[in-house]
Amino acid sequence: MTGKIVVISAPSGAGKTSIAREILRRNPTLRFSVSATTRPMRIGEREGKDYFFLAPDEFRKRVAAGEFVEWEEIYGNYYGTLQAEVDAALVQGRHLLFDVDVKGALSIKCKYQQALLIFISPPSAAVLEERLRARLTEDATMLARRLERVPMELAQAPQFDRCVVNDVLERAVTEVQEIVEQHLQKS
């Protein structure tokens, strides 16, 4: 049996990371796909668990060597999915959960048509902005960069298999959980 792919994507601030964490907790057969990035490690993050943290030169070298399923430059840093990581999991029959940006999600779908793409949408653009402003980690420049990308991100929603509105976290998690369970049970 080969593993299945679930991709969760959303505009920054829509709450996809909280949802992804809870989905992983509820589905022991689902494993988080660890991406590579050039952004600095945040407090509490671990190498190989949250990301593989690479220097920009190393990242570019691996892009040139064709090691990525997809990669994007987001907010001035590179992020990418390593082909070797995906292959190893799928061959072992493990299911993978991806937390990637909207463009990355669509690239994954191009390579793996059987992947399930879930778009997490904020209840409104205003709520999204409010949530982003409330995040203490964002400085003004970063906040502006994230807000700038939102219209492009929201415009990709129709290309996803499913769209879930994150109005109330617990409700959204329940909805995503049902969608994921259905997908994993498919033969």
- Smaller CB separation from ligand 5GP, 39 or 162: 39
Using CB under 6 A as the binding rule, whether residue 26 contacts ligand 5GP is answered as: no
Q: 3-state class of 163 per DSSP? A: strand
Residues 33-72 that bind ligand 5GP (CB under 6 A): 35, 39, 70, 72
State which residue, 71 or 95, has the beta carbon closest to ligand 5GP: 71
Question: Which of 59, 79, 119, 160: binder of ligand 5GP (CB under 6 A)?
Answer: 79
H-only helix segments in the chain: 16-26, 56-64, 83-91, 102-111, 125-134, 140-155, 169-185
Q: Is 31 in the site for ligand 5GP (CB under 6 A)?
A: no
Stretch that binds ligand 5GP, among 94-102, 111-119, 121-129, 175-183 (CB under 6 A): 94-102
Q: Name the residue nearer to ligand 5GP (CB basis): 39 or 60.
A: 39
How many residues make up the chain in this entry? Answer: 187
Closest by CA to 53, choosing from 78, 87, 85, 89, is 78
Distance CA 19, CA 21 (A): 5
Contact range with ligand 5GP by CB under 6 A, out of 73-81, 112-120, 124-132, 159-167? 73-81
Alpha-carbon torsion (166, 178, 170, 101), positive or negative: negative
Question: Of the ranges 58-66, 97-105, 119-127, 171-179, which one interacts with ligand 5GP (CB under 6 A)?
Answer: 97-105
Q: State yes or no: residue 80 binds ligand 5GP (CB under 6 A).
A: yes
Per-position b or e across 68-91, b if 16+ CB within 10 A of its CB: bbbbbebeeebbbbbeebbeebbe
Q: Which residues bind ligand 5GP (CB under 6 A)?
A: 12, 35, 39, 70, 72, 74, 79-81, 99-101, 103-104
